[in-house]
Amino acid sequence: MCKRCGRYVDLHDYCITSAIAKNYRTKGSLAIEPKGAVYNSESVATDVAIKGQFHGKLTAEHSLTIYSGADIKGSLTIGRLIIPAENVFRWRNWLNVRSADIAGELAANLRASGTITLKSSARMLGDVEASALVIEEGAVVVGMLRIGLKMENKQPAFL
């Protein structure tokens, strides 16, 4: 229970290993394994890792880690986007994030109110708008870069 308002606060960590249609609202983590699937969901979690399927509206308050097997359909609200090395993620619309750490391949247009970090193994295929950009030697970037922009009206609502 919250000491201030008396509401129930879910602190559980969830690991999804099968298909389910459920909403999650937790201050813990939500992990969707390769054989796991979440359908028709409006979910909010502090940290989210997706290796399987997610269809619905997802809010990752702190971080969203996406692996190659991820199949995501719907809308995303992301604090910090993480694409680990040797993983690929493709997204058609603009991704609006607070910050991003890319070590794998991201094929999407990315907008960040904070810093985007491209590790040496990163491949960024798309346009980038950010307040700051760090590119390690060896990273590949194909797209237009707009750096040093103020993003007050473009950041996610929970920031």
Residue 15 lies in domain: 1-82
Task: Judge if 61 and 93 occupy the same domain.
Answer: no
pLDDT along the chain (159 residues), means of 10: 62 93 92 95 94 96 95 94 96 94 96 96 96 95 88 49
Q: What is the sign of the dihedral through the CA atoms of 150, 92, 72 and 56? A: positive
20 and 66: one domain?
yes
1 and 73 co-located in one domain: yes
**Cα(128)–Cα(112) distance, integer angstroms:** 8
Sorted by sequence, the CB contacts under 8 Å of residue 127 that are 6+ apart come out as: 109, 110, 143, 144, 145, 146
134 within 8 A of 119, measured Cβ to Cβ: no
**Whether residue 141 sits in one domain with residue 77:** no
* The residue count for the chain: 159
pTM summary value: 0.87
Does 99 share its domain with 34? Answer: no
CA–CA dist 70, 32 (Å, integer) = 9
pLDDT tens for 109-134 read 999 999 999 999 999 999 999 999 99
Residue pair 33/16 in contact by the 8 Å Cβ criterion = yes
Q: Domain ends where: 82, 109, 135? A: 82
